[in-house]
Amino acid sequence: MAELKKLMAGTGSSSYGILIGKDIIDLDETGNFIPRNADKTAIVVSKRVYGLHGETLDRFFARFPGLEIFMMDDGEENKNYALAGMYLDKFIQAGLSRKSVVIGVGGGVVGDFAGFLSSIYMRGIPVYHLPTTLLSMVDSSIGGKTAVNLSKGKNMAGAFHQPGSVLMDIRFLDTLPDDELKNGLVESLKHGLIGDGKSLEILESNDLVSIRNSDVMTELISASVEFKLSVVERDEREVGLRAILNFGHTVGHALESLMDYTGIPHGKAVAVGMIVEAGISRRNGWLGDADLSRIGSVMRSYGLLDADLNLDPRDVLSHMRFDKKNSGGGINLVLLRSLGSPEFNVRVDEKTIIESLSDYLAVRRGV
């Protein structure tokens, strides 16, 4: 068994435990992380994950009272407001009360969706997370953001709703395809570029094969989670510092919404966003060519920049205008003054954004 890591998250509204390791959902200790005294336990679980790990999950689910299982397709297009209404009706029909709890089992889509449902059902009931992808482990299961997508943008309807606890069993990563693993590696790399030197070191010292070693993966996840917690604990509701976690996401989310959440994986969209926003940082005179080369090198070593994009930069820009972080009619980005030193809420003119997007697309097309 890989080393068991225990972390505590503390915010202004709550505190909760995080357990990281291999095969941990079989441990009796998990009973200390998710209570078993609810009147009903609603499990919102990815159909794909259940198909792969049904026997293991059934043993885990059997520990909880009043079990109600809700299967969900885990594509980003399913994390929408209309589907949320249907699931809330299912909660009512199943008899969930204010004494019930929700457990989200799956990737970031399922975790976000389960968190959103729990945040608004009867004005809020507890949610617990069992993330099963690297991306959901190092990002969406931590920090209390819940959301669904609207037609004009990603995560446009949501609430801050901290989990009761998070269990990260890396056994689920054994069946995670490389393309899905890359989504999480992008997020860990983002942490590395905005200040988490340990994650950056681990990524630069490994490749797509060696990073899957249980001990290496546990260290990477722990480093990323600790870094994110260090940010979230100081700014739970993203009124300041937490905005640095959006590095690459303004462009990335625009790409996802432009392509209807099916044309590009989240991680690769954010990877493109980080390259574009790093390019803008260079245009500002903040990053040098060596910095961009270092960022590009680690991305290429994990195959993070192979998305085939045939887009008009003006269309990407039009979707960036809907980003909820914008204000005053302008577009705000997170840029890098240097590697590890992010600057948030930087107003960037549209001409510069178009130029940086065009530069990236031209390189991808071999122009």
Confidence bin at 367 (pLDDT 50/70/90): very low
Domain locations in the chain? 5-176, 239-364
Confidence bin at 327 (pLDDT 50/70/90): low
pLDDT value at 6 more than 60: yes
pLDDT tens-digit map of 18-75: 999 999 888 877 766 888 889 999 999 999 999 999 999 999 999 998 999 999 998 8
CB neighbour burial string for 86-117, b if at least 16 within 10 angstroms, e if fewer: ebbeebeeeebeeebbbbbbbbbbbbbbbbbb
Q: By three-state DSSP, how is residue 25 classified?
A: helix
Domain 5-176 part of CATH 3.30.300.30: no
Assign a CATH topology to domain 239-364. Dehydroquinate synthase-like, alpha domain (1.20.1090)
pTM: 0.90
Residue 328: predicted pLDDT = 57
Supply the residues annotated as catalytic: 123, 145, 187, 228, 238, 242, 246, 249, 253, 266
Q: By three-state DSSP, how is residue 251 classified?
A: helix
Torsion of the alpha carbons at 156, 275, 240 and 227, rounded to the nearest 10: 100
- Does the fold of domain 239-364 match that of domain 5-176? no
Residue 366: predicted pLDDT = 45
